[in-house]
Structure 1
């Protein structure tokens, strides 16, 4: 249905009606010679730093031995995230995927900016444009891939009717009396490896009372190694998953939104193969947030 709608909109554009373009979540970079992941990641990190990015994390997902991701931030994009507030904090991390065969990919800033910054997207466009240009310079500017979503749909994206959006109440995990208490709880639980997790990166904006953490989901039965292998490891730039704090509340984007946004071409049959993943992720993130067991 989504592909049919996209084709119809494209046809209308050719006929002179207002165009509504569809965009993909990832961009292909220039392939590197195959090698060991740590060495390939070190090369990419050097290129990213040379183009002004700050490297804040490196992720080698358990159960995905041929894939990894690098997480960077950008000062101007962080300013835009701070101005937007709320769940836009998840846009603070820019993820770059790398495979041991030399394949390089990275988040499409336009796609994720529309989805996460929503009403502040227009104000953030100069920062997002700069990010894309410098990612292309550092990593190469290949074609978009991973599925197509009409750009106008991204601010209120959901996989299908009745499923969660970015601002779904279901995203809330726990509430505390202060931002500092929420921050301390998440940090402590990540440090302890609660729920077979590990920290990948953190971005904290104390004055804005915003924070986001990348979380390695290492449970062999319900973690990312299981569900990513099931639906497609080419989307490694979707990882790691996040937990985030706004004020005194801790959140994680519910899987039927977060996974679908990251794999928008996912068919219902594929989604049903990981049907228990959204709740499993939510329960793990709840433990990190110190929420009572369900």
Structure 2
């Protein structure tokens, strides 16, 4: 979204970026780069090899999803779950890797980038950096993606003034946690439902093919955004606002590019509500 700076007054940039509330110093004694990559790019491996490498590195593979962008591999471990087992934070419990057959590479969602964005003040650099180190050992050497953002701005990230933040989630279903989990499990195309805590789950569900098509319009290189994640806790099924999740997953996206998928955020919410009605 750096291209977007040219479209607005500099006075709006501060409001656009938000603030993280902490300096980029890790509590584990490890410094964080001021600007962190959204994804870490590694040499190509097929899906079975990716799953094997994750397992060898101590991760649990919880599911795979093939899309127009390639195959997303979802994974977690005990440390990631423990860190994210807090109200509204469980989305950080699961990592994503895109096996990109077109570009012949693997693209790993950077746990430092998404961890800071999703965990905010409860972010643990000790956990995120350990996860990244394990991934680098398994898949390295890894290079930074072109997509990047300032570490300090990630916790308060939003696309622009007036657009949603992480906490502005959409409630797409209500009922007992058991009932919502059952609906997610029964839905066609669901990749996985992961238990993060006693009353806390993350479901990775499928949407209409037309809705998923936005990835082809704005860049299949970041296609690990699919499948869509839904947080289930406290009798509610909640999803990140599509305007937030798409933007933070595509930080180089311009306003004009975003406008090409203007109907997608509404379609995402409609598709998710159908699952949990």
In structure 2, the partner of 1:252 is 239
- Give the structure with higher Rg (CA): 1
Residue 106 (structure 1) aligned to one of 85, 104, 108:
108
In structure 2, the partner of 1:274 is 261
TM-score for both structures, normalised by structure 2 = 0.85
Q: How does 1:151-162 map to 2 (within 5 A)?
A: 151-162=151-162
In structure 2, the partner of 1:37 is none
TM-score for both structures, normalised by structure 1 = 0.80
Q: Deviations over 1:158-208 (max 9, x none)?
A: 10111111111x5122322x32233223333x1xx2xxxx1112211352x
User: Which of structure 1's runs of 4+ aligned residues deviate more than 4 A?
Assistant: 1-5
- Kindly tell me the number of residue pairs found equivalent between the two proteins: 253
Are the equivalent residues in 1 in contact too, given 2:184–2:190 (CA < 8 A)?
Answer: no
Q: Deviations over 1:224-253 (max 9, x none)?
A: 1x1000000011232221111121011111
Could you tell me how far apart the structure 2 residues matched to 1:144 and 1:47 are?
A: 20
Cα deviation, residue 214, structure 1: 1.1
Could you tell me how far apart the structure 1 residues matched to 2:193 and 2:172 are?
A: 18
Could you tell me how far apart the structure 2 residues matched to 1:2 and 1:220 are?
A: 30
Could you tell me how far apart the structure 1 residues matched to 2:39 and 2:225 are?
A: 9
Are the equivalent residues in 2 in contact too, given 1:26–1:106 (CA < 8 A)?
Answer: yes
Are the equivalent residues in 1 in contact too, given 2:81–2:196 (CA < 8 A)?
Answer: no
Could you tell me how far apart the structure 2 residues matched to 1:167 and 1:255 are?
A: 12
Are the equivalent residues in 1 in contact too, given 2:39–2:108 (CA < 8 A)?
Answer: yes
Tell me whether 1:243 sits opposite 2:230 in the alignment.
Answer: yes
Tell me whether 1:75 sits opposite 2:65 in the alignment.
Answer: no
Consecutive unaligned residues in structure 2, runs of 5 or more: 15-22, 25-32
Q: How does 1:16-31 map to 2 (within 5 A)?
A: 21-31=34-44
Moved more, 50-59 or 148-157: 148-157
Are the equivalent residues in 2 in contact too, given 1:87–1:166 (CA < 8 A)?
Answer: no
Could you tell me how far apart the structure 2 residues matched to 1:261 and 1:241 are?
A: 14
Are the equivalent residues in 1 in contact too, given 2:172–2:239 (CA < 8 A)?
Answer: yes
In structure 1, the partner of 2:194 is 203
Cα deviation, residue 287, structure 1: 1.2
SS of corresponding position for 1:141: coil
SS of corresponding position for 1:156: coil
SS of corresponding position for 1:205: strand
Q: Where is the helix percentage greater, Structure 1 or Structure 2?
A: 1
Are the equivalent residues in 2 in contact too, given 1:67–1:98 (CA < 8 A)?
Answer: yes
Could you tell me how far apart the structure 2 residues matched to 1:216 and 1:103 are?
A: 24
In structure 1, the partner of 2:202 is 212
Consecutive unaligned residues in structure 1, runs of 5 or more: 10-17, 33-39
Task: Return closer, same or farther for 1:174/1:93 CA change in 2, 3 Å cut-off.
Answer: same
SS of corresponding position for 1:130: helix
Could you tell me how far apart the structure 1 residues matched to 2:214 and 2:146 are?
A: 16
Are the equivalent residues in 1 in contact too, given 2:97–2:109 (CA < 8 A)?
Answer: yes
Q: How does 1:1-294 map to 2 (within 5 A)?
A: 2=2, 21-32=34-45, 40-61=46-67, 64=68, 67-82=70-85, 85-101=86-102, 102-121=104-123, 124-168=124-168, 171-176=170-175, 178-188=176-186, 190=187, 193=188, 198-207=189-198, 209-217=199-207, 219-221=208-210, 223-224=211-212, 226-290=213-277
